[in-house]
Chain A
Amino acid sequence: MNATERCLSRRALLKTLRMAGSGIAFGRWLEPDVMMDQELAPGKAIETFTGPGANPRWNSVGPYVTEPQKVPLILLTDRPVQLETPRHYFRTTFTPNEAFYVRWHLEGIPNAVDLKNWKLQVEGNVNKPTALSLSDLMQNFKPASLAAVNQCSGNSRSRLQPRVPGGQWGNGAMGNAMWTGVRLRELLDMAGVKSGSLQVQFQGLETGQGPEGLGSNLFLKSLDLGNPVLDECVVAYLMNGEPLPMLNGFPVRLVVPGYFATYWTKCLTWIRVLNASDENFWMKTGYRVPDTPRGNTTPEDVKAGKVKTVPVERFPVRSFLISPDGSSKIAAGMIVTLRGIAFSGFGRVNQVEVSDNGGRNWMAARLGDDHGAYSFRTWEASWTAKSPGRYSLAVRATDEKGNTQPDEPIWNPGGYLWNRIERQQIVVGNAS
């Protein structure tokens, strides 16, 4: 019996069953081999790109993909790898390692690291260049732990108007983890920074096809030696108490609390003390923002050459509604719990407010446990919509420095620093 005959005979059987008038609706759900030639119902998948308007969705619009050591995440690019974390993984304070977003710059990402050969080098303008194995890092130093948000400078880039080139992230280029490792300061002290040094440069295992000396060959980032953030930095070998996934920087990555992820060098292997300012592409040209309030400017001012830029550094205060996410209807009169997260690179979030009329009136949300100044802070609020309709829920956070999320968009050519108040439409239906 070939496939066609099998289908025909099954159809005949189903017809007989239906004619027999059985009380059970046999054949109502046809098995896949009968349905094989039917087209998929249209409109099941979202659009594959957005623009020239802003991306209207919470996440970016790519398909899901499963990469090594990861659950299915949203694909931005595959070579090098850029993956976004779906919204629902932000219900908790700590983002699971297997769902943590991924962003590489160059295609030479390690697939294997042999810890017999791998050593973290502390070199350059130091008295005693030092090489440390992972075992040395784990055994010879007192472990330091801190909760810190890692957020891509271009998180939410797809909101900008006009759109700018680059990874078209929705809001999921961020994550929070408990990082454990060695304090950077201890490593610098061990090697002995020579006087007259200016910066410390970080290099990981990532390499590109481009010629030596260009940004397409190496990804390098530096921080000023006088920057107090160096005292808070950790070279982490644990992420949420587990080894780092390769795509998140195994065996160790730099943690720079409060700073955008561009400084959090993955697969960190060279810590290099410089006696001159780092002029490489990723400091001098890439990851720079206008030296203006909020890093805001206009395409006209950029074109006119009026914009002075500085390296992007700390991330501004942000907050998100995670659930409900607008995908389900809520019945009027139901007491639902609004849940989300908030964070700031400038200090603890100490206030989160929610609005159900798009930001005209605000009420305070309850804050979750405090895991430190640089962690996600969860928040909750009870909400009851008394009557059916469409509601615009908005959320805004304020940090301990008094920074509050503004309601104005921003624009800069790199697509960095977006932190406008978020809104989510929720549909409420009749309960009777």
Chain B
Amino acid sequence: MKNQVRAIFLLMCSLMIAGSAVYADLKKGNYSPAQLGSIQQAVPAELSPDSSYEVPAYPVPAPELAPGDGLSDVRIYCNTCHSPRYITLQPSLPAATWATEVDKMNKTFGATIPEENTRKIISYLQAHYTPENRKQ
């Protein structure tokens, strides 16, 4: 009887050791706090059976532009035809490419950015969006 108890005790101990070996690296329930992004569910549109087919305004989330000289010129002039997300979208580009891009807006696309402001916009882009200096 005493031997039987000891045998059961030893068996249970070994099972517990084996069990802990099996499950020791089973991680569970690891959650992390998070913020919901800007993606909210849209309210369904109000529809009427007339001939007009309409969608709501297209959203324009403000891009994070590097602070610095020329930013206000970017916001005023570039914003005329497109949002400044066209800047942050680009890969980091060499300084000369930025000059070409801004010149193209005036010469090819007919923008009328004054010379002084054109120069400031180019300097701004060259100061923050080249492979050497781009951070965001």
Q: A243–B111 Cα gap in the complex (Å)?
A: 36
Q: Given that A77-B83, A165-B101 are known contacts, is A112 also in contact with B53, CB under 8 Å in the complex?
A: yes
Q: A32–B86 Cα gap in the complex (Å)?
A: 36
Q: By the criterion CB–CB under 8 Å, are B110 and A67 in contact?
A: no
Question: Within the complex, which residue of B57, B89, B108, B111 is in contact with A77, where a contact is CB–CB below 8 Å?
Answer: B89
A19 located at the interface, meaning its Cβ lies under 8 Å from any Cβ of chain B in the complex: no
Q: Given that A68-B56, A246-B53 are known contacts, is A107 also in contact with B92, CB under 8 Å in the complex?
A: no
A400 located at the interface, meaning its Cβ lies under 8 Å from any Cβ of chain B in the complex: no
Q: By the criterion CB–CB under 8 Å, are B39 and A78 in contact?
A: no
Q: A78–B32 Cα gap in the complex (Å)?
A: 31
Q: By the criterion CB–CB under 8 Å, are A62 and B89 in contact?
A: yes
Q: Given that A66-B42, A67-B59, A78-B58 are known contacts, is A29 also in contact with B51, CB under 8 Å in the complex?
A: no
Q: By the criterion CB–CB under 8 Å, are B52 and A210 in contact?
A: no
Q: Quick one: closest A residue to B97, CB to CB?
A: A165
Q: A144–B25 Cα gap in the complex (Å)?
A: 60
Sampled A-B contacts (7; CB under 8 Å):
A48-B136, A49-B90, A64-B37, A115-B52, A165-B93, A168-B90, A216-B110
Q: Quick one: closest A residue to B62, CB to CB?
A: A78
Q: Given that A111-B54, A163-B93 are known contacts, is A65 also in contact with B59, CB under 8 Å in the complex?
A: yes
B residues 88-127 touching A (CB-CB < 8 Å): 88-93, 97, 101, 108-111
Q: By the criterion CB–CB under 8 Å, are A216 and B109 in contact?
A: yes
Rounded to whole Å, the gap between the CB of A328 and the closest CB of chain B is 16
Q: By the criterion CB–CB under 8 Å, are B57 and A111 in contact?
A: yes
Q: By the criterion CB–CB under 8 Å, are A114 and B82 in contact?
A: no
- Which residues on B sit within 8 Å (CB–CB) of A20? none
- Which residues on A sit within 8 Å (CB–CB) of B111? 210, 216
- Which residues on A sit within 8 Å (CB–CB) of B80? 209
- Which residues on A sit within 8 Å (CB–CB) of B108? 214-215, 281, 285
Mark each residue of chain A from 60 to 84: 1 if its CB lies under 8 Å from any CB of chain B, else 0. Answer: 0011111111001001111111000
Number of interface residues of B (CB under 8 A): 45
Main secondary structure of the interface of B (DSSP, over half): loop
Interface segment out of the listed A33-41, A170-178, A258-266:
A33-41
Q: By the criterion CB–CB under 8 Å, are B39 and A52 in contact?
A: no
Q: A114–B92 Cα gap in the complex (Å)?
A: 42
Number of interface residues of A (CB under 8 A): 60
- Which B residues are within 8 Å of any A CB, using their own CB? 29, 31-35, 37-42, 45, 51-61, 80-83, 85-86, 88-93, 97, 101, 108-111, 131, 134, 136
Question: Within the complex, which residue of A41, A111, A163 is in contact with B55, where a contact is CB–CB below 8 Å?
Answer: A111
Q: Which 6 A-B pairs have the closest CB atoms?
A: A51-B91, A68-B55, A112-B54, A216-B109, A79-B83, A116-B51
Q: By the criterion CB–CB under 8 Å, are A113 and B92 in contact?
A: no
Question: Within the complex, which residue of A55, A166, A209 is in contact with B81, where a contact is CB–CB below 8 Å?
Answer: A209
User: Which among B33, B92, B93, B109 has the greatest number of chain A C-beta atoms within 10 A?
Assistant: B33
Q: By the criterion CB–CB under 8 Å, are B61 and A49 in contact?
A: no
Q: By the criterion CB–CB under 8 Å, are A78 and B61 in contact?
A: yes
Question: Within the complex, which residue of A63, A64, A251 is in contact with B53, where a contact is CB–CB below 8 Å?
Answer: A251
Q: A38–B34 Cα gap in the complex (Å)?
A: 10
Q: Given that A66-B42, A211-B110 are known contacts, is A78 also in contact with B59, CB under 8 Å in the complex?
A: yes
Question: Within the complex, which residue of A65, A166, A246 is in contact with B61, where a contact is CB–CB below 8 Å?
Answer: A65
- Which residues on B sit within 8 Å (CB–CB) of A106? 81
- Which residues on B sit within 8 Å (CB–CB) of A79? 58, 60, 82-83, 85
- Which residues on A sit within 8 Å (CB–CB) of B58? 67-68, 78-79, 81, 109, 111, 247
Rounded to whole Å, the gap between the CB of B29 and the closest CB of chain A is 7
Question: Within the complex, which residue of A40, A49, A246 is in contact with B33, where a contact is CB–CB below 8 Å?
Answer: A40
Q: By the criterion CB–CB under 8 Å, are A50 and B91 in contact?
A: yes
Rounded to whole Å, the gap between the CB of B97 and the closest CB of chain A is 6
A167 located at the interface, meaning its Cβ lies under 8 Å from any Cβ of chain B in the complex: yes
- Which residues on B sit within 8 Å (CB–CB) of A77? 82-83, 85-86, 89
A250 located at the interface, meaning its Cβ lies under 8 Å from any Cβ of chain B in the complex: yes
A208 located at the interface, meaning its Cβ lies under 8 Å from any Cβ of chain B in the complex: yes
- Which residues on A sit within 8 Å (CB–CB) of B83? 77-79
